[in-house]
Amino acid sequence: MRLKNIPRARDVIAASRWAVDEPEKMKGRWAEEFGEPADAPVHLEIGTGKGRFILELSKEHPDINYIGLEKYSSVLLRGVEIQDELMLKNLRFIRGDAELITEYFLPGSIDRIYLNFSDPWPKERHAKRRLPSRQFLARYDTILSPGGTIEFKTDNRDLFDFAVEEVPGSAFEIAQLTYDLHADPVMNEGNIMTEYEEKFSALGNKICKYILVRR
Ligand code: SAM
């Protein structure tokens, strides 16, 4: 992915009440950060981009706490600027790396993980960087609660086939799966389109999705 560097992004994120720049310091402190009720579910989107999907979810479900994690400040900037205006109490953004999520969250503290249009990393030697890889599924197993779920969608059929093949070696099983989300009335109910989803479905690409639960 080509990335335009936006010099002010780091400063805007560092100054925002709603963004976390040093997520290691937040481990075990998320309930305190969100406030009452302390037992509200926490849903995490990994690779949130400009945060459009998680902003919509946060508006629709004020009873759920949401965290959007994004590696690059210049990408995350737009979402943080919008949240600086909306000030949704149940939403925080993290500028951080998914490889370190077990440093950011206590075991069992996340109730749902969303992976939306994750980078495909097409070279075989980079397979372990793919967010639905077995290496990442093991990290998700650590931070997810006993009833925790993972929802993954993409228009990239090769990445989706890889993701499906990674499941049997993990702590999870497939509860629901579709190769054409927008034509599936059950799985598409309440679907919120991400930025990439809108772009690629407008080109005629079908959207694949699975939902994983623990075995
Ligand atoms: N989820 C958004 C959507 O569907 O519109 C953005 C999709 S974009 C293709 C993938 C995003 O994941 C990029 O913004 C990228 O920087 C982010 N990303 C990739 N690897 C990551 C990692 N290890 N940790 C955090 N974010 C990551």
Atom of ligand 1 nearest to the CA of 118: 10
**Coil, strand or helix at 85:** helix
Q: Is the CB of 136 under 6 A from ligand 1?
A: no
State residue 2's pLDDT score. Answer: 59
Atom of ligand 1 nearest to the CA of 45: 1
Position 30 pLDDT exceeds 80:
yes
By percentage, how much of the chain surpasses pLDDT 90? 96
Instruction: Evaluate whether 192 touches 161 at the Cβ level (below 8 Å).
Output: no
**Coil, strand or helix at 100:** helix
State residue 138's pLDDT score. Answer: 98
Please give the domain boundaries of the chain with CATH numbers for all domains. Answer: 107-214 (3.40.50.150)
Q: What is the mean pLDDT of the chain?
A: 97
Least confident of 5-9, 24-28, 73-77: 5-9
Position 1 pLDDT exceeds 60:
no
Tell me the pLDDT tens digit for each residue of 151-160.
Answer: 999 999 999 9
What is d(CA 86, CA 81) in angstroms, rounded to the nearest whole number? Answer: 9
Instruction: Evaluate whether 101 touches 139 at the Cβ level (below 8 Å).
Output: yes
Q: What pTM, to 2 d.p., does this model score? A: 0.98
Interval between CA 132 and ligand 1 midpoint (Å): 12
Tell me the pLDDT tens digit for each residue of 38-74.
Answer: 999 999 999 999 999 999 999 999 999 999 999 999 9
**Coil, strand or helix at 113:** strand
What is d(CA 215, CA 197) in angstroms, rounded to the nearest whole number? Answer: 29
Tell me the pLDDT tens digit for each residue of 132-189.
Answer: 999 999 999 999 999 999 999 999 999 999 999 999 999 999 999 999 999 999 999 9
- b/e per residue 14-51 (b: at least 16 CB within 10 A): eebebbbeebeebeeebbeebeeeeebebbbbbbbbbb
State residue 4's pLDDT score. Answer: 85
Sequence-distant (6+) residues with CB within 8 A of 208 are 153, 154, 155, 157, 160, 177, 178, 179, 180, 181
What is d(CA 125, CA 61) in angstroms, rounded to the nearest whole number? Answer: 39
State residue 137's pLDDT score. Answer: 98
Question: Ligand 1 atom 12: the closest Cα is on which residue?
Answer: 47
Position 90 pLDDT exceeds 80:
yes
Question: Ligand 1 atom 17: the closest Cα is on which residue?
Answer: 47
pLDDT band, residue 3 (cuts 50/70/90):
confident
Specify the DSSP element, H or E, that contains 92: strand 91-95
Interval between CA 50 and ligand 1 midpoint (Å): 9
State residue 21's pLDDT score. Answer: 83
